[in-house]
Structure 1
């Protein structure tokens, strides 16, 4: 099946059939006919009819919009959509979206509105009323042709599917055959190209990408990439990584089986089932069934699409990105809405407690803040008065978390208030649920409750965490309840004391309390207070951490559990990793046990920690600290310095070179400050080593070694040399609470709230001017302050000998912060995608451990995993550190670095078995690689090789830098070299080139040098036969078969590319002769090489302009060739002489330019017909006559030239401007 047929039959047609079964109307694009012109993106006739249908008087339902008012509203919408010149598409989309959501203001009717201004709504958004939903027209158009503003036929593109509501394009679907490689990625890249804002890593040249038609996307809210087997949802500004599949069908369907039954029972107009029994229910089915159901689409566009601010470097203009909910966020919010609608409040008859609550357990990092924002928008933008009057009270227990949540919810458009005191909170709550009280209130209620276990103020808390950890372990060993030890519950007396702090503020049932971190036992205290302050409120608990068995009962009593004891919604770590909502976490241990059981174990731990020091230093520490306590060891300056050295080395070898940052969790506030000093000291030590030990001689010696042979210390010095400019500038900043030292101000820089906020903001900012991620380019140049001074500092890629740190030419005003050092602050609820490593040097257990580990799982471009490096042994024995979960410990969400080794070995075996199956067993020489390259002549085999190699490279990237993974690096180098040769030889990739951007960054850094060795590059022929050294390199290939095959592939690629750009007869003839040669001399490479040479020369000759027209413009030269080909190939015309053809070319070109440069020329059918008429007259005046056939041949020639002009309209217009 041809690719286009596969897209139509396996993707587009099932997509359309399912939409039609849900109430959509389908029209084939060309059948729209006179309803539109190609440069109009709106279906204005349908829109005008919808405006009359949608806008009705509230009192009697009569239509009131006149034709004049409809025209005005349509005109304003069209102007907003077309106003893209000189401003980003996102700005035009914002203006258009505002009109769609809120309507356009027009002068009202004198009779009905007494002349007052009224809103004309383009869409009826009332999803609660099925009859009003049906007032909208839902139309899907396939093969929708649209022309870019000001462009001609060469500016036209055909979209696979465009979804309209009332004639307004709101969604665009790009379909790809499931048989192509990476169909969803290809679809996303095409979608972004259509928007006129292609992805930065698209990799295709401008002429290879689809033409941009941004006007169509000015009103588009959703973009969908589909391939039949799956589909991914995104927006106009979403990166490829942000397109997400839709895996849930609840709450619209009970489960997947319910959707399957519906699809199996539904038949198309011609009797086909939407899903045959036994066929797979795909993610495309799910996305269509949920997102594109008419009322749901209205719901998603109105409530689940936001613009979010992006983090930018200091001094850069603000940026936003348009985002749409993921399936788990939509699912959770809609379940909450259903509970609010169907559950009983305490005021309803027969209700003993509130029945509208529940618990949302969504794993750490899965978008809880945005889920709350979507909920606020869903409630407050609803047309249902039962929903839009709700006041939301969001209760958090940390200031930083409150700031983060309030910033996220602010994009919902709801009024936001942050309670600054108990009196302020009570005043706000008095208006809750009443007229004028609709808002979102944030409060930290525990701040007003005094000293309550689990809630008390921990500012300046310098408890000995190590001793607390040991005491807790001993209590559990003695028989105490591990859960009570980990999270002690307040007693009844404490609850009663807390309840006296709050009075009743509102008895309205239109209050929804959202409690963050609902897994904590102190939630019962908050509940007691809130029950008094808001006795009839609904309550939803959010948690990102598994709830302990005992706490689960209490949590259920507070928020309510579903039948069977389940939560209202769950989204676990495994799902989040599969959806790429979070990145996987890997951990590695650096020391011994997490706790000290006895004197002998403490001594062993002590000796373990001082092992890196020399003998005299070890003895001095023994004398000072013997017998040491656990805290003594943890706060020892020498111990901290030794660990800080290891942390910095680990950071330089890993996260720093990719632009990521780190966090240190220390055992005490004092230890946090000591870590800052130690990290600064060991940084100076490392830079000194670079200066003294890594001069030109050391560098040259290292260049002589293969990268996989570098020792860890050699690689450390190399990386530090690369990134010395950044390494010199980075800062290490404690963020700790204030204590008794506050009066002296000794730690004010680290404890002051304003300074902490500034430090966190700087930590979240990217490093300044990171080197470009180009592993193939090596450019050498001087740095401003190189270390050592006489050593040249390269600037460029990621391979071991390119890519230094950022340029020193524009020093940052303040040093970039690379490390945050904390005790307890920022270990929970801190959302920092730029953080990749957590260095753990403190005891930590149970829920706090699960939350701390999740600090590094936030996704960020280029971040393929998070790392936890354990210096305290916390992760060595999860039965101890997660004891509170009583025999059923939850998944930690992190795996050991070594856990990836078996998968790596398996993936390597699969690649090796595949190659051996083809007879490829040795790639040690150039000749062997060439032989393997020719063996992979079958396209399907090449696709299989790519797939297996991609799996292997991914496994290698996940296992690195584990030393047992390094032995696979030679395989990675050999196999990617073969892949490079194969891709270049068969010209499989766009442009005929080769890129390994799909591989992990650690792997790319290791294979880059090998792929760019001069002896390798010099053996690979250029992509194009027009390259000056093509013949020279091909002639140097010793193997006759390889040499001839290279010529065949190069010529075939050249002819296919030229045929797409300029379909001249010479290219068609050469392609025909090439295939004849291959058929006639099948396998006889000497004969093929003998015949292929002249064909290549003729192809080159076709590129050379005739000497007679060398002085003409490039466009005139191309038109000269077109005219010559057309006249020579047509039997009715005599072969023209050069002088006549030259003159004729200039006259025809001038005629075309004169016509298309007119402002009124739009390129529609009438314009093209008029252009053809003028060309015909010009040909006649020039004296061109057909020898036979009358006027028909001349008519045909003028038609083809008008078509050529339209296909190259921009070139002819540019010619006019140049004149």
Structure 2
């Protein structure tokens, strides 16, 4: 039976694309010198003839001179920065190319036209091509992409595939390969809109700036249901995302470049965002009285127009039109951390650019200034998609001015700015246009006071507007007013799906109340009728009106209690940091408590404090004024100061690890490296759900976030979860940390049981001087087990992640040093036996930390050669002295693994130059190891065999000197001499001359991609046969020799072709 290979996966992928209407071509057939040539050389990225033909076909009103000018503009995109080039190309793709051509009036003037790169309505008017094995050479770097898809000659997507049958060919390797391509052949990425990596079973999508943790799955074909588990993810990705109309919609409407002034990040929609936004657009059109089915989502437009600007509306937007506006669009509920702000941006872009929306005005409302700033920042960073810069209303007067415009605009405001001039007044009418869409962030009754408050004023001001809500938490069960304003759910994306997709990580919950030792009278009690006040209300003194809040605040903020919380919290956080690098947030009940908590921690860790905002490990983020206490003033900053702190906190490498907040940064704030939240403030409902979601962001290998409860949130969490479940949500909002402990203990037992019979605890508890020797004995023990190394390495990796989630539970901490030893043993096995490939930069920046055992003062890296008292060998030499040292090692299994590693490494190196020699030694190594595994020989015997093999391998490397041949010639000589009779018939000297002639002639004849083009291979095969006959090579062995020579040439041809 023939196994699955990467080629089979590639062909299957191309078949799926062909079924969707893509034309499948073999990349080498379009290469230079081929009958079907479409490229002048391998530096040419675009398929120029196809691009020129498409520009002419899509823009029939543009004369040829205009098409050529557009072509020049497209090809001129380039520069040293790959992301800037990509952004410039994307603008041409979405906005078209402006060209100047002679006017038609005959007076010698000129006119300006727009040249579009794609036909958005007649998709068959575009040229759809999928190419495999697409070779690009840039700066002497030769790379070949598996599948590249072209639309109108533009390379818009790359699919990098790995063999599903090879356990070492993972999608992570495909990701790393794309990073290599970006470095070596950056021109291929100028026009790229989408990257796909897959091993057939798993599949992930990302952009040119996406890190490994931001490559996400595409799990639906039709947008209605998640594909069943039995369907390969690559098939779902191809059929769901590369359906041609979806593909165009996606690359034009669901790609943004977030620019914060420091760097540009390219982001694209996840599948749940894409489908939710398109559903929301359909609901918006319906709410506005537009036939969503008949309305154009794509379209070809006259040359002088912009397809994203408004054509004549199909329905009149008149004043007071009864069936327009004042309508409920619905609510999009996507769990926190799954990209809600970006979904709102994509939605805004589609509504703005829909021609039948007639240049609408979008009003984005939040309930707090800091949320307004955060969401505004997201929209402002994506202004390319919106084709305009959003505007933030600074006051009520400014808001009214912005909304009195005749059309257009994206306006941000807080709901509080919709207050009438006098209490009890009706808000004045600002606009009775119906193409106004109000987008509410976190649409909840408690946020907007829909019955009697701000929402009524909003309706008075904009009576015919349509309303849509976006929320990260479900609407409360007893909330009837929110659906009355916005409508029912449009789309749901719950915690279960978000965690399964890798869009978020699970949140664990730890109750630390018992750690705060207070007498009953000193313990805070949260009244069910307790009503929280906001930071702004506290600042204005309104807390005096609420005696329950004031009384509870006094107990929570008692000096003794704060000192106890601070002491426990510092120890807890430091333990967390030992296991996992990252950040934490403390949530306090009042600004006073926040400041007092800061001072209590400062007493314990004075070096965490710094007067300068550019330094220090902890900071407070809160509002305030000049009239506040003098002790508070160092912590009160203006907007720019808070933004500077946010930038520091979001930087994983910055020393700012801990922030203390009251209300700020609890919603909408995104810091992926934050893994712990300490809550010492009564919270409930969606406010609680929003706050704890700060720790659910994906970051490197972070396994989960942790919420630590110092106030008693268990009941509030239960009520929030009950509402979440009743609303149709699946998955746990939080998971009790005891479950994480249980998982850790289970994984610990697996590793411990593997070492049953080896007294590792004596090594852990013994003196540092005996640590290395003990580690060496442990390695010997694991290597003696059946598949010991193969089972041990992944078991400890899983244990390490489980430990990071379980700490600082005392039951986990008591095993800390043992876990540290297990990790050290794993690292030593990897280093010594070389079973894992080199780590990528992302792996090197892992959030999970290697524990430094308290039992060892030294931090030296274990080197098994040093442990055995040996010099580290020059592997390419493998001297007799070194081999004798290995032979003398008392740890026989370790000696065997060392020899296997050294010989394998050398064989791997030889295989890149000499196929026959590498194959011969690999067979000898495999035969010796198999005899040992079958217990046909003992450890001592197999060591002797491998030492002998190592010496033969060493001597084989010197054969060129003896034969008078260079490395390439020796490789061809070995291919010819593989037939023993050839040397007898021809003689050694003639065989050497034949090898030299073959190297010379074949090297002159090979071209890039000759191995992929059967006609080119045939030409080389004919050449080899002709030379073999000229030299009188035995005809009965000619066929085998020819294939061996061709195989050897394939190994060497890359270096030959480039040089």
Structure 1 and Structure 2 fold alike (TM over 0.5): yes
Distance 1:30 1:725, change over 3 A: farther
Q: What is the Cα deviation at residue 740 of structure 1?
A: 8.5
Secondary structure at the counterpart of residue 988 of structure 1? coil
2:554 matched residue in structure 1: 632
Q: What is the Cα deviation at residue 220 of structure 1?
A: 1.2
Q: What is the Cα deviation at residue 418 of structure 1?
A: 0.9
Q: Is 1:394 aligned to 2:364, yes or no?
A: yes
Number of aligned residue pairs: give it: 956
Q: What is the distance in 1 between the residues matched to 2:436 and 2:836?
A: 57
Maintained 8 Å contact 2:439/2:467: yes
Q: Is 1:443 aligned to 2:423, yes or no?
A: no
Maintained 8 Å contact 1:984/1:993: no
RMSD: 5.1
Q: What is the Cα deviation at residue 724 of structure 1?
A: 13
Q: What is the distance in 1 between the residues matched to 2:802 and 2:174?
A: 25
Secondary structure at the counterpart of residue 196 of structure 2? strand
1:964 matched residue in structure 2: 811
Q: What is the Cα deviation at residue 1102 of structure 1?
A: 3.6
Q: What is the Cα deviation at residue 909 of structure 1?
A: 5.0
Q: Is 1:1018 aligned to 2:1018, yes or no?
A: no
1:842 equivalent among 681, 691, 694: 681
Q: What is the distance in 1 between the residues matched to 2:425 and 2:669?
A: 30
Q: What is the distance in 2 between the residues matched to 1:1198 and 1:1048?
A: 29
2:737 matched residue in structure 1: 897
1:116 matched residue in structure 2: 111
Q: What is the Cα deviation at residue 1062 of structure 1?
A: 0.8
Q: What is the distance in 1 between the residues matched to 2:257 and 2:1044?
A: 52
Maintained 8 Å contact 2:328/2:485: no
Q: Is 1:860 aligned to 2:699, yes or no?
A: yes
1:832 matched residue in structure 2: 671
Give matches, 1:267-416, under 5 Å: 280-309=230-259, 318-345=262-289, 351=323, 354-355=326-327, 357-380=329-352, 382=353, 384-387=354-357, 389-410=359-380, 411-413=382-384, 414=386, 415=388, 416=390
Q: What is the distance in 1 between the residues matched to 2:728 and 2:22?
A: 48
1:18 matched residue in structure 2: 16
2:661 matched residue in structure 1: 822
- Unmatched runs of 5 consecutive residues or more in structure 2: 291-316, 526-549, 762-773
Q: What is the distance in 1 between the residues matched to 2:171 and 2:257?
A: 23
Q: Deviations over 1:1147-1196 (max 9, x none)?
A: 999x999x99xxxx996989x99xx99xx9xxx9xxxx957899x99999
Q: What is the distance in 2 between the residues matched to 1:320 and 1:507?
A: 39
Q: What is the distance in 1 between the residues matched to 2:610 and 2:875?
A: 40
2:494 matched residue in structure 1: 572
Q: What is the distance in 1 between the residues matched to 2:509 and 2:431?
A: 49
1:165 equivalent among 151, 163, 169: 151
1:542 equivalent among 461, 464, 470: 470
Q: What is the distance in 1 between the residues matched to 2:1047 and 2:442?
A: 70
Maintained 8 Å contact 1:1051/1:1096: yes
Maintained 8 Å contact 2:508/2:737: yes
Q: What is the Cα deviation at residue 1001 of structure 1?
A: 1.6
1:776 matched residue in structure 2: none
Q: What is the distance in 2 between the residues matched to 1:351 and 1:1067?
A: 79
Q: Is 1:870 aligned to 2:709, yes or no?
A: yes
- Unmatched runs of 5 consecutive residues or more in structure 1: 58-63, 198-211, 261-278, 311-316, 452-495, 562-566, 607-627, 688-719, 771-815, 1111-1115, 1213-1219
Q: What is the distance in 2 between the residues matched to 1:1076 and 1:595?
A: 67
Q: Is 1:517 aligned to 2:519, yes or no?
A: no
Q: Deviations over 1:1031-1062 (max 9, x none)?
A: 25522333656645653453244213311x21
Q: Is 1:584 aligned to 2:506, yes or no?
A: yes
Q: What is the Cα deviation at residue 30 of structure 1?
A: 3.8
Q: What is the distance in 2 between the residues matched to 1:1045 and 1:644?
A: 50
Distance 1:1004 1:593, change over 3 A: closer
Q: What is the Cα deviation at residue 977 of structure 1?
A: 6.2
Q: What is the distance in 1 between the residues matched to 2:90 and 2:419?
A: 45
1:507 equivalent among 432, 438, 441: 432
Q: What is the distance in 2 between the residues matched to 1:1064 and 1:229?
A: 32
Distance 1:399 1:727, change over 3 A: closer
1:933 equivalent among 776, 780, 783: 783
Q: What is the distance in 1 between the residues matched to 2:861 and 2:19?
A: 55
Distance 1:1122 1:175, change over 3 A: closer
1:424 equivalent among 398, 421, 425: 398
2:948 matched residue in structure 1: 1094
Q: Is 1:186 aligned to 2:39, yes or no?
A: no
Q: What is the distance in 2 between the residues matched to 1:728 and 1:753?
A: 15
2:619 matched residue in structure 1: 733
Distance 1:1117 1:370, change over 3 A: same
Maintained 8 Å contact 1:984/1:992: no
Return the TM-score normalized by structure 1.
Answer: 0.68
Maintained 8 Å contact 2:578/2:851: no
1:757 equivalent among 601, 626, 642: 642
Q: What is the distance in 1 between the residues matched to 2:1009 and 2:798?
A: 50
Maintained 8 Å contact 1:510/1:537: yes
Q: Is 1:101 aligned to 2:29, yes or no?
A: no
Q: Deviations over 1:100-144 (max 9, x none)?
A: 2233344436549974232322222x2xx3xx12211222223x2
More moved, 109-118 vs 354-363: 109-118
Distance 1:283 1:526, change over 3 A: farther
Return the TM-score normalized by structure 2.
Answer: 0.78
Q: What is the distance in 1 between the residues matched to 2:516 and 2:817?
A: 38
Q: What is the distance in 2 between the residues matched to 1:746 and 1:1076?
A: 77
Q: What is the distance in 1 between the residues matched to 2:409 and 2:461?
A: 17
Q: What is the Cα deviation at residue 879 of structure 1?
A: 5.4
2:890 equivalent among 1038, 1041, 1046: 1038
1:149 equivalent among 94, 114, 138: 138
Distance 1:604 1:534, change over 3 A: closer
Q: Deviations over 1:26-56 (max 9, x none)?
A: 2233444523346132222322222222113
1:906 matched residue in structure 2: 746
1:138 matched residue in structure 2: 128
Q: What is the Cα deviation at residue 557 of structure 1?
A: 0.7
Give matches, 1:1009-1158, under 5 Å: 1012-1013=861-862, 1018=867, 1024=875, 1026=877, 1030-1038=882-890, 1043-1044=895-896, 1046-1048=898-900, 1050-1059=902-911, 1061-1063=912-914, 1065-1074=916-925, 1083-1085=936-938, 1087-1104=941-958, 1118=967, 1121=970, 1135=988
Q: What is the Cα deviation at residue 514 of structure 1?
A: 0.3
Q: What is the Cα deviation at residue 187 of structure 1?
A: 4.5
Q: What is the distance in 2 between the residues matched to 1:590 and 1:766?
A: 29
Q: What is the Cα deviation at residue 505 of structure 1?
A: 1.8
Q: What is the distance in 1 between the residues matched to 2:146 and 2:833?
A: 29
Q: What is the Cα deviation at residue 538 of structure 1?
A: 1.3
Q: Deviations over 1:1184-1212 (max 9, x none)?
A: x957899x999999999998875324885
Secondary structure at the counterpart of residue 550 of structure 1? coil
Q: What is the Cα deviation at residue 175 of structure 1?
A: 1.9
Distance 1:226 1:861, change over 3 A: closer
Q: Deviations over 1:410-445 (max 9, x none)?
A: 2142321111122221221122xx4xx322110113
Q: What is the distance in 2 between the residues matched to 1:903 and 1:139?
A: 49
Q: Deviations over 1:58-111 (max 9, x none)?
A: xxxxxx453x5545544443443xx45xx1322222233233223334443654
1:7 matched residue in structure 2: 6
Distance 1:1044 1:405, change over 3 A: closer
Distance 1:958 1:679, change over 3 A: closer
Q: What is the Cα deviation at residue 359 of structure 1?
A: 0.8
Distance 1:860 1:1195, change over 3 A: closer
Q: What is the distance in 1 between the residues matched to 2:942 and 2:864?
A: 27
